[in-house]
Structure 1
Amino acid sequence: MSFDIIKCGMLSLLQDYGRYGYQHIGVTSGGPMDEHAFLWANKLLDNVANATQIEVTFGGLVLLATKPTVIAITGADLGAYINKKAVKPWRTYNISVGDTIMFNQPNTGLRSYLAVKGGFHVEPHLGSSATVVREGIGGIERNGVKLEAGDKLKYSPYTNQYFRSVSSHFIPDYSATIELGVIPSYQFDGFSKHQINIFFSSTYEISNQIDRMGYRLKGEPISYDGNGIISEGISMGAVQIPQDGQPIVLLRDRQTIGGYPKIGCVSALDCNLLAQKRSGDTITFKLIDLQHEQGRRCIFNRFFFD
């Protein structure tokens, strides 16, 4: 009762919604880089929101089904095939014994999510299956190792026919240029008005230094007027400004504390879009209001969790 992994691809990781309650001892949350796509995959299958999925980065994953089930594919279009038929994301597919699921290379976006009816059966590590390679935690063997050829992902068989898809209204355009909302926080007041204007009026290119920990950007450098800071806790989306002035947006596998000044924090919902961008893509920033963003988050949570 499993998917047998034939090829593992560049980076395929088991992820649930994340590991929370341990950042005070230096353990980061992990979880899906694109929360929106992850939650839709489970919603399509009537899974609990936290059900474990596969996050496929850049494609290359090949799976063989040993029992019938239903899957959902969301997120990036990685040129997926079931057997020899091309399939699109943002919908469910009925899977029979012997079916092969293959992810090729990105057409749009960077990360795709594959959920199975009932979720994959994975023993949690500190309350979560989320794989954090850097910390050696979570995943199929609870040691942070990415999925490899020969691994077997267990699930409960499901034989009923099942057809669902996501309305186009809820499907992001991953090819569009994005403007990321930034909440002023941390050391915002330590940056001069001139430096703040540069940050919010510039276009930044995503460098080749991107991973689940964060995205390093290239563009007009920003300088901090203060004298440095004491290391402090770091939130999802925090925008660090290191000594070279090139912003770094910290994401799911970020370190739990850091000492670089931070000009603000990208909206967690906007981080979903950033996680689908690749090296060479460009982004801009806009200043947003905390209360407005709290309202967006409340609507999002009600939709997926109520």
Structure 2
Amino acid sequence: MSTTVGFVFTRPGFLSLLQDGGRRGVMHMGLATGGAMDRHAWAWANRLLGNSWGTPALEITFGGIEFQSELDTQIAITGAEVQCTVNGQPRPLWTTLAVHAGDTVTLSAPRTGIRSYLAVRGGFRVPPGLGGSCATFTREGTGGLHRDGRPLQAGDRLPCPPSLEPVPVRKVPQPWQPDYRAPLELAVIPCAQVERFPADTLARFFASEYTLTPQTDRMGARLKGPALDVLGKTLISEGTSLGAIQVPADGQPIVLLNDRQTIGGYPKLGAVTPRSLDALAQRPPGTAIRFRATTLHEAQLEERQFLRFFAEQV
């Protein structure tokens, strides 16, 4: 008889994926990095519980989950504005919550935002795979609970570490909780093949509004708006980076995301900064998006501050 205890899911939701900080050192093998789409919400869920940087959490897209706990532990739920209940009683988000063996936890569909993050004290006990990561890749068939890329299924048990010393109750201050209704402006570092875009095209890009289309997924955010002209549309395929803005032949930009392909031959106007990608990860199709130019130095300072706070890295 198995002694493993954890959370047993009676309703797994539309798309619930185990995600951590992503894989490193694998792109030369044609494997994407993956990891949590909204690193800000994912990092806060772990920090509230005293978990170390990189600890796996469950990324829940569009809510709608229900699970029963088989142990006494603590959880934190951040990200999209869902209604969380424990045994039918409402519980707050962005804070440390106690759950006990036999408790039933539910998350509704989100009011704002689209991705929630469920972390548990000590992290889900799932062995790492390629690149030292358990990040779920449905396209590649790797990672996740069963190491085959499958999203969470009804009846799955996510193993949790038992008998850990509880942490004090913590809450993210309201000013630090993002407003997913706010107008979305993404910071962009002009780079890569920016010289292939005429000056009037760049001016139009930064002055125009684009719309997030329903074709958006974990691979890329496809946008619709004023078409961008490119000088010389073909390139030798080269490595891609997180946030790169590719412009295919139709002139409609695509922002490459966590599960992107590792190489591409479309010209790239620049790259959306990591902190802006967190905000993008929470917006549904139909969201209006604008862009503003930033510098590599400014983006690096922002990322360094983020890592100092959440990962104690510089």
TM-score tier by shorter-chain length is: over 0.9
- Structure 1: which 5+ runs fail to align? none
Establish whether residue 136 from structure 1 lines up as the match of residue 141 from structure 2.
yes
- Structure 1 counterpart of 2:188, from 182, 193, 214: 182
Which residue identity does 1:173 align to in structure 2? D
Which residue identity does 1:290 align to in structure 2? L
Contact 1:11–1:56 (Cα < 8 Å) also in 2: yes
Contact 1:78–1:110 (Cα < 8 Å) also in 2: no
Which residue identity does 2:41 align to in structure 1? A
- Structure 2 counterpart of 1:124, from 128, 131, 138: 128
Query: What residue in structure 1 maps to residue 254 of structure 2?
Result: 248
Alignment of 1:102-113 (within 5 A): 102-113=106-117
The percentage of counterpart residues that share the same residue type is: 47
Normalised to the residue count of structure 1, the TM-score between the two structures is 0.98
- Structure 2: which 5+ runs fail to align? none
Give distance in 2, aligned partners of 1:259 and 1:83.
Answer: 52
Establish whether residue 98 from structure 1 lines up as the match of residue 83 from structure 2.
no
Query: What residue in structure 2 maps to residue 172 of structure 1?
Result: 178
Establish whether residue 8 from structure 1 lines up as the match of residue 12 from structure 2.
yes
Which residue identity does 1:144 align to in structure 2? G
Query: What residue in structure 1 maps to residue 52 of structure 2?
Result: 48
- The alpha carbon displacement at 1:161 in A equals 6.9
Task: Report how many residues are paired.
Answer: 306
Secondary structure of the residue aligned to 1:198 is helix
Give distance in 1, aligned partners of 2:153 and 2:224.
Answer: 33
Give distance in 2, aligned partners of 1:177 and 1:87.
Answer: 28
Give distance in 1, aligned partners of 2:14 and 2:187.
Answer: 30
Which residue identity does 2:176 align to in structure 1? F
Contact 1:10–1:60 (Cα < 8 Å) also in 2: yes
Query: What residue in structure 2 maps to residue 151 of structure 1?
Result: 156
Normalised to the residue count of structure 2, the TM-score between the two structures is 0.95
Contact 2:46–2:53 (Cα < 8 Å) also in 1: yes
- The alpha carbon displacement at 1:103 in A equals 1.4
Establish whether residue 60 from structure 1 lines up as the match of residue 54 from structure 2.
no
Query: What residue in structure 2 maps to residue 17 of structure 1?
Result: 21
Give distance in 1, aligned partners of 2:144 and 2:96.
Answer: 24
Contact 1:94–1:162 (Cα < 8 Å) also in 2: no
Contact 2:233–2:266 (Cα < 8 Å) also in 1: no
Give distance in 2, aligned partners of 1:218 and 1:118.
Answer: 42
Contact 2:49–2:167 (Cα < 8 Å) also in 1: no
Contact 1:133–1:145 (Cα < 8 Å) also in 2: yes
Which residue identity does 1:191 align to in structure 2? F
- Structure 2 counterpart of 1:226, from 224, 232, 245: 232
Give distance in 2, aligned partners of 1:161 and 1:141.
Answer: 29
Which residue identity does 2:140 align to in structure 1? E
Secondary structure of the residue aligned to 2:40 is helix
Query: What residue in structure 1 maps to residue 203 of structure 2?
Result: 197
Secondary structure of the residue aligned to 2:21 is coil
Contact 2:50–2:167 (Cα < 8 Å) also in 1: no
Establish whether residue 297 from structure 1 lines up as the match of residue 279 from structure 2.
no
Which residue identity does 1:29 align to in structure 2? T
Contact 2:233–2:249 (Cα < 8 Å) also in 1: no
Give distance in 2, aligned partners of 1:201 and 1:64.
Answer: 49
Secondary structure of the residue aligned to 1:135 is coil
Query: What residue in structure 1 maps to residue 242 of structure 2?
Result: 236
Secondary structure of the residue aligned to 2:266 is coil
- Structure 1 counterpart of 2:30, from 23, 26, 29: 26
- The alpha carbon displacement at 1:228 in A equals 1.4
1:177-219 Cα distance to aligned partner (Å, 9 max, x none): 1110100111101100011011101111111111111110111
Query: What residue in structure 1 maps to residue 291 of structure 2?
Result: 285
Which residue identity does 1:193 align to in structure 2? A
Hey, which bits of structure 1, 4+ residues long, moved more than 6 A?
none
Give distance in 2, aligned partners of 1:51 and 1:227.
Answer: 41
* Closer/same/farther in 2, CA of residues 303 and 278 from structure 1, 3 Å limit: same
- The alpha carbon displacement at 1:159 in A equals 6.6
Query: What residue in structure 2 maps to residue 212 of structure 1?
Result: 218
Give distance in 1, aligned partners of 2:66 and 2:145.
Answer: 17
Alignment of 1:79-98 (within 5 A): 79-98=83-102
Secondary structure of the residue aligned to 1:74 is strand
Which residue identity does 2:182 align to in structure 1? A
Contact 2:12–2:153 (Cα < 8 Å) also in 1: yes
